[in-house]
Amino acid sequence: MTTVYDVPADKLIEKLKEKLKTMKELTPPEWAKFVKTSSSRERTPDQEDWWYIRAASVLRKVYMRGPVGVSRLRRVYGSKKNRGYKPEKFRKASGAVIRKILQQLEGAQLVKNEIGRIITPKGRSLLDKTSKEIEG
């Protein structure tokens, strides 16, 4: 059986993004069009559907690395900040974006919060079916 580990991440996230768009629990908040995804970024995301791409990516990370919390995911999505003539320094990603996405995934019953966020059977099924579609 094909799982998340067997398919390329970019193809899985692209396909999963389309499925998450159909769920009414996952909607970008009003402030999402004005926010940067990290303090190391200079501008807001270029893609219109970046919220769903990040949600699909977070769901995949919870599947693969769970149980995880907001702090660990902030480190995963962080990057180096360009500080001009000073050396670059690592900065964590925005916690509000990740926290809100995790709350929405919990509302859709794809993730649950026990000792950190873990994937539910419904979430595991969604990811495995999506992986099988890509492979097949």
Structural domain boundaries of the chain?
Answer: 4-135
Query: pLDDT at position 87, please?
Result: 95
Q: State the chain's mean pLDDT as an integer.
A: 90
Q: At residue 31, does pLDDT exceed 70?
A: yes
pLDDT above 70: percentage of residues in the chain: 99
Buried residues in 9-41 as b, exposed as e (16+ CB within 10 A): eeebbeebbebbeebeebebeeebeebebeebb
Q: At residue 104, does pLDDT exceed 80?
A: yes
Q: At residue 136, does pLDDT exceed 80?
A: no
Cβ-contact 19, 126 below 8 angstroms: yes
Would you list the DSSP string of 56-99? HHHHHHHHHH-SB-HHHHHHHH-EEEP-TTSPPEEEPBPHHHHH
CATH for 4-135 (1.10.10.10, 1.20.59.10, 3.30.450.30, 1.10.10.410): 1.10.10.10
Q: How far apart are CA 108 and CA 20, in angstroms?
A: 10
Q: At residue 114, does pLDDT exceed 90?
A: no
pLDDT digits (tens, 9 = 90+) for 44-90: 777 888 999 999 999 999 999 879 999 999 999 888 999 899 999 99
